[in-house]
Structure 1
C-alpha cells in the first residue's frame, strides 16, 4: 500500500491540537464534577471511540492507495521554441556581464516555469541550427542553455529570417500538427535586434498565416557598446574603427505585432522577463490527445466513511458525566 500524500506538518499540528483540546476538556470536566464529589470517569469510555475516528480521519487525509485503476488523461500544452541570437554583438557588455550571459540566466529561469510544455532551442547568427529539439526534459534543456556561447555558430552578421523559417519548418514537419488537434505553437526570439538580412516579408506573411505567437525580447541598450574580441581588443568595422552595437527594437516590435505577440526588453535597468512569463501563461495550450494510464487507486473513502459513522455514534450516544 502507498500513500497519496506524505506525512507533514499539518498532520502533526492536528494531532497536537486534538491532544491539547481534549486534555483541556477532561480537566474542565473534572473541575466541574469536583464540587459534587464526582470525578467524571464516565467520560473515559468515549475516549477510545474518539481516538479511533480521529485516526481514521488522518488516514483518509493521507490517502491510502492500493490496487491499480485505469484513468483517461487528456494532455494539453504548448510547444515553445526559444530562438537565441549568438552573433558577436551578443558579447557586448552594455548589459552586465554580457548580453548573452544575462539572457541565458533569464531563459533558464523561464524554462523552469513551464515544465508541462515542450520547449526547444534554436541558435542563430546569419544561419540557424536546432540546438535542442522540442522536449519535456528540463535537465537536458538547461544543460544546452548553460553552454550557449557566440562561438557555437559561424561568425557573421545577424539575420533573423533563417531562425524564424527553421522554427516554422520544424512545426509543419511535426506530424502532430497534421493530426487533430494541434498543440499551440509559440516562439520566443531573443536578440539585440540588429538584422542585416535582406527581406523579412515572406517570413512575416508565413507567421501571420500559421497563427504562431511570437514574443520578442530585445537585449541591450540604445546607447550600445563596443564588442570585445576573444583574443583581446574590439571588433572593428570596415573603416577600421571600433564597431558599436546598439539595441534595435524597431524590427523586433514589428515582428511581435505581426505574429500576435508582444515585445519585451532586457537590460540592467529593465527586466521584462516576468511580463514575458505572464504572456506565455496566457497562451492557452490545445488538447493533444487522450491517453489511458494506470494509477494507484486512492481508497480514502473507506476510512472517511467509517470515521463519519463513529462520529455519528459519538453524537447520538450521550453520557451524563455529572450527576447532581
Structure 2
C-alpha cells in the first residue's frame, strides 16, 4: 500500500509538455535556419556527426530525470505492514437525497452541492469514527460501506449525483431500511444516521419505519436543505442550462422544502431536525453530538510503518540527468561503423 504526502507537486509535471514543445520549436527553427543558407548535402558535409536520434534521446533522458525529481517532491510512501489496530469511535451513516429536486438552486450553489458541503465538513471534524454513505431517490443504493477511510468517503461523496439512481422520487423508507444493514458492529452503542433531504415525495409509513430504526438503537437526525418558497429544477446538457423541468400541463415545476416531513422523522426516532441552509449550523450541531457521544472500541486493519520512498526517485532522477549531461548529440564513432539506421548509406 502506498500514499502520496504532497500530491500538489504533481502540478509541476505540466512543465514536461512545455519542454517538449520548446524542443520541437527549437528543432524546427534550427532546421529552417540551416536550410536558409545551405542544402542538405552540403550540411551533411559540414556537420557529418549531427544526429537527430541522439538529440531526441538526450531530451528523453532529461524529461525522465526532471519527472522523477518532481515525483520525489510529493514524498511517496510505502506501507510495509498490515496491522490490526484498535480504535475508538462511533458509526455515522449519511443518507443523501440525490433526487432531481435537489438540483434546485434556491440555495447556492444548489441543494445537492450544499448537502455535500455539509457532509464533507462533518467528516472533516470526525476523529477515528467510522462513516458510511447511502444515496437515494426513487431507490436507495449503498455508495460507500462503513469505513474508517475518510478520504475515500470524501471522494465517493463528490461523485454522488442524480444519474447514479435508476428512478426518481424520494424513497426515504428504503434509505432507512438500508441504513439498518450498515451497522455491522453489534457491540457499538452509539450509531448515528444523518438524513439530508428537501423532504419532498415522502411516504405515509415513514414515521413508523423511523420509530423502528430508533428502537434498534440508531439515533436519527434530519437536515433540511432548500427554501419554503422553492425554485425550479434546472435541466442541463453538458453543463449548459437548456430549460426547467415541466409537468404534464407544460407548467414549470416548483420544488419546495417540506420541513414537516423531516421533522416528523426526527420526532419519531427521538432525534432532532436541523435547518441546513446555513452550512455551519448542522456541521456544528452534528459534530458536537458525535463528539460528546460515548466511544466504543473496534478493530480495523490498516497499513502502518509507512516509509519514505522519495530518495529512490531523487537518486534515479539525478542519474538520468548525469547521463543527459555526458550524452553528446554527435554520432558515436563505433555506431557510425555499424550504421544501424543506414544513415551513411542514405547519404550516398
Quick check: 2:176–2:210 contact (8 Å CA) kept in 1? no
Instruction: Figure out how many residues of one structure are paired with residues of the other and give that number.
Output: 216
Aligned match for 1:225, one of 221, 231, 248? 231
Aligned match for 2:164, one of 152, 174, 179? 152
Compute the TM-score of the two structures, normalised by the length of structure 2: 0.57
Quote how far apart the aligned CAs of 1:262 are. 1.4
Quick check: 1:211–1:259 contact (8 Å CA) kept in 2? no
Give the 5 Å matches for 1:151-230: 151-171=163-183, 174=184, 176-177=185-186, 181-230=187-236
Instruction: Give the unaligned 5+ runs of structure 2.
Output: 1-84, 306-348
In the other structure, the counterpart of 2:344 is none
Quick check: 1:76–1:183 contact (8 Å CA) kept in 2? no
- CA distance in structure 2 between the aligned counterparts of 1:191 and 1:161, rounded to whole angstroms: 13
- CA distance in structure 2 between the aligned counterparts of 1:219 and 1:153, rounded to whole angstroms: 20
Moved over 3 A (4+): 268-272, 287-291
- CA distance in structure 1 between the aligned counterparts of 2:253 and 2:284, rounded to whole angstroms: 32
CA gap of 1:202–1:137, structure 2 versus 1, over 3 A, is: same
Give the 5 Å matches for 1:252-271: 252-267=262-277, 271=281
Asked if residue 234 in structure 1 is aligned to residue 240 in structure 2, the reply is: no
CA gap of 1:241–1:268, structure 2 versus 1, over 3 A, is: farther
RMSD: 2.6
Instruction: Give the unaligned 5+ runs of structure 1.
Output: 1-72, 296-324
Structure 2 residue matching 1:130: 3-state secondary structure: strand
- CA distance in structure 2 between the aligned counterparts of 1:114 and 1:127, rounded to whole angstroms: 28
Quote how far apart the aligned CAs of 1:279 are. 2.2
Quote how far apart the aligned CAs of 1:145 are. 1.1
Compute the TM-score of the two structures, normalised by the length of structure 1: 0.61
Deviations 1:96-153 (A, max 9, x none): 0111111112211110111310000000001111101111111111101111212111
CA gap of 1:115–1:230, structure 2 versus 1, over 3 A, is: same
In the other structure, the counterpart of 1:306 is none
Give the 5 Å matches for 1:51-62: none
CA gap of 1:234–1:185, structure 2 versus 1, over 3 A, is: same
Asked if residue 106 in structure 1 is aligned to residue 111 in structure 2, the reply is: no
In the other structure, the counterpart of 1:283 is 293
